[in-house]
A and B are shown apart, each in its own frame.
Chain A
Amino acid sequence: MKGMDKFTGKIWILGDDIDTDIIIPTEYLALKTVQDMAPYAFSPLRPELAGKIQDGDIIVAGKNFGCGSSREQAPEIIKALGIKCVIAKSFARIFFRNSINNGLLLIENDRIQGDVSEGDEITISINECIEHRGNQYPITSLPQNLVDILNAGGLVKAMQRRNNLKGM
């Protein structure tokens, strides 16, 4: 999360229960790389969305974001689209782990959804708050071991750093 302590981005709004088949439908999983899959992200729900997302944008969604499959392509594709952070009322467990493991920042907040519109800009201060038009929404701190993984840029890099094993 270097350089990510505070950042501002434009938001895209999604609803409740955005499942992994919405994030990336099965038929595109056979494509070779996540970059190849990224244009089809969210296509069952909003086929135009992937083409509009720009580097540094933020997703604001409802409850149970990422429910369903353990397919790790889901957070990888969101990251590949340039999304810097996903804010949701809640995240499904496997998606949560997979995102942290890939260095994708997730923030749980259930108050901002009613106050924002698509295209608004919000500012996020890590482990402090989200700001939107002068309103502040506090963020709960992540446990230290998850912060370590995010700071390292993902689980594999954290493993290499923690074990200090050049061999891994």
Chain B
Amino acid sequence: MFKRLPNFAVTNQFGLFLLVIFFVLFFSFFTDGFSSRFNLFALSRVVAIDIMIGLAMMVVILTGGLNLSLGALGVSAAMFGGWLMETVGIPIIPAMLLTLAMGGFLGWINGYVTVKTGVHSFIVTLATMSIYFGMMTLFTEAEAFRKLPETFTDFGSLKIFNKYVSPLLLVSIFFVFLLFYFFKFTDLGRKLIAAGANPDAAELSGISVGQMFIYCHILSGLLAAVAALMLTSRIGAAIPSMAGNLGFDWLLPAFLAPVLGGTLLSGGKVTVFGTMLGAILVTLITNGLYLIEIGEFWIRFFLGIILLLAVLLDKAREFFAQKSNVLS
């Protein structure tokens, strides 16, 4: 790890890291209550979920595609999990595993249809978004699962490290390291990146690109299901509206985190730690905007501006990187 440090210092992840530090200091000095125990705990919980949402989108962006159905998929999986735990009465661990399987399955549908039709994943996941969400509301009749096992729901309000941090954040960090290891050191992870970076070349070197893309969508479904389970545990119930209508409320954090983190929208690059830092930054800024009292209604406006600035900066960085390459 330490040998990588000099490299790390020149990446945009380092810039992000500085930004995070800057905003932490800024909000601590200029707002009431940012550094209060209650606020930091709440923040850690939101960050935990946003990291998972960001990662779930990141693995699809790797293919040069995207997953609009992320929220609908996550909620559908969580509702399935709620049904298993409450109505069927399956123990927590197997129920969670089955929930993940459901997430993976819905992701597989996205991937399969995208690859087999050759249609852009945007339109496929636009369609599956409304299908998943509609099916979910149809099956559940929009009724929430509210009597989940207490062990499961208590986890969401557990406080650790002197009550400053939610254990959900540890779960997310675990997944961050897991994914980092997966993409960096496993054969399959490297193949996924190769397929995303240059499909033609990957195909020539014997990688089945279609298969790899389907794996990416499955992974996305799995991670979205994890995020949804975490959200369920935090809310204490599986609720159809927990990601907004059609699950659309997840989309902004889903794109903000990887894009801020330096994931290329054209595909072929993953930045696991960048996505994590991106999610932290977004949550930090949202929280800060609430505390500064700019008016709750303007928050979306500012998040939109931040997304725009992020992609513009990213573009500028790319531009200057190319320029300096040409010069040297």
Whether chains A and B associate is: no
